[in-house]
Chains A and B, each alone.
Chain A
């Protein structure tokens, strides 16, 4: 069993989800409430990873963060390290790759919040930031949880992007799906089967937990 790879994938998914929560919530807020006429272009940009082949995305990311690119050089000066073939590089790639899976459910949740409640809060003198955290976020909690779970699960299963950016280094960039691919090539079918089965189990548990959690949220705080 590829415990090292499983642990790595879980860590990668966790941090990707945390970062997507931090940047996804403001992004979704802007997408929902902005009246900017070019908003649709940003929406298309964020949704790109949904339709782009992961290899294309991975290739672009590899070029963009490589040691010869401006971003790669800047990173090298700041940290002395480099992004490709490192955990941090995978993290950058995963955040971009799973961006729509977090932002879209967030935005859908925000859009479903009754506009009058938000305006009532503003009229009562509550700041926009406080309104966001005390009205919008609680009311769209199920959507936020859904977005987080989707981002987590999507990162857990990513393959093409990791293959391009990661380099299959044990303990650093050999994620579960790469380990399975490697085991199959080594004719280690039993190991590949075991790891696949575990991944299936984890994925099912994560999804079941989400749906279960959402049910309880609805039962404790009836929305109407």
Chain B
């Protein structure tokens, strides 16, 4: 009897209604850019509460396969949304591309490593003990970094120095804190206002890695598909694109 009462009370607290919100599973490279977009968006639409959750696209892909309760998915590639579409897990026709990402070699100013001058050869410097990248297994930016290291011919020389973050913003945090001397990270993180003057970076030539086309989709179980569509429209409209551009994303 007592257990039954407890269970009832437990369900009551757990199922208490919450105000509706738009929950976005967002690739970690969007961490600062999307915060900016959300701020601008909610200023125009104060009735909507937008809650971005950041992580690696691969992690979100796995979670969405298990019907994680997100209302919109912004991946760092087009593959993951596309695979979800093939499995019939997104609203038909809700796939879209919203940006093209870039990667950079980033280091703290205080590290004394002149990445702007040295380019990829900065990684060969003896002062570089650790190079932070995102885990290529489930982070598209990690795959881009891995591809760039190979195509620029430094992979074998530096492979023992590589340390991995779970997602690209953790890789950036490793470099930002100085724990790793250099990070191969998203340009969008390097351009965030909070850290822009703390570091210097060299942009990896776009020809060195496959194009980082970033896409998204609306899961079938989105609680408010119209709200998700409206946010998507804002992101793709000139105003949204302008914000993304400030963080180094190029458009179509």
Contact = CB atoms under 8 A, between A and B. Distances in A.
Contacts of B63: 84-85, 167
Interface stretch (A29-37, A98-106, A178-186): A178-186
24 contacts: A11-B13, A19-B6, A19-B10, A22-B3, A82-B67, A84-B63, A85-B63, A85-B66, A85-B68, A86-B69, A91-B14, A167-B53, A167-B68, A169-B23, A169-B51, A170-B23, A182-B54, A185-B54, A185-B170, A185-B173, A186-B54, A186-B169, A187-B173, A187-B195
Interface residues of A, number: 28
A67 B51 contact: no
Contacts, number: 62
Contacts of B195: 187
Given A87-B14, A171-B18, A22 B176 contact: no
Question: For the complex, would chain A's binding face be called helix, strand, loop or mixed by DSSP majority?
Answer: loop
B31 A168 contact: no
Interface of B: 2-3, 6, 10, 13-14, 18, 23, 28, 31, 51, 53-55, 63, 66-69, 167, 169-170, 173, 176, 194-195
Contacts of A68: 66
A170 B69 CA distance: 12
A70 B170 CA distance: 35
Contacts of B3: 22
Nearest to A11: B13
A18 interface: yes
Contact of A169 (B13, B53, B169): B53
Nearest to A184: B173
Contacts of B176: 187
A19 to B, nearest CB: 8
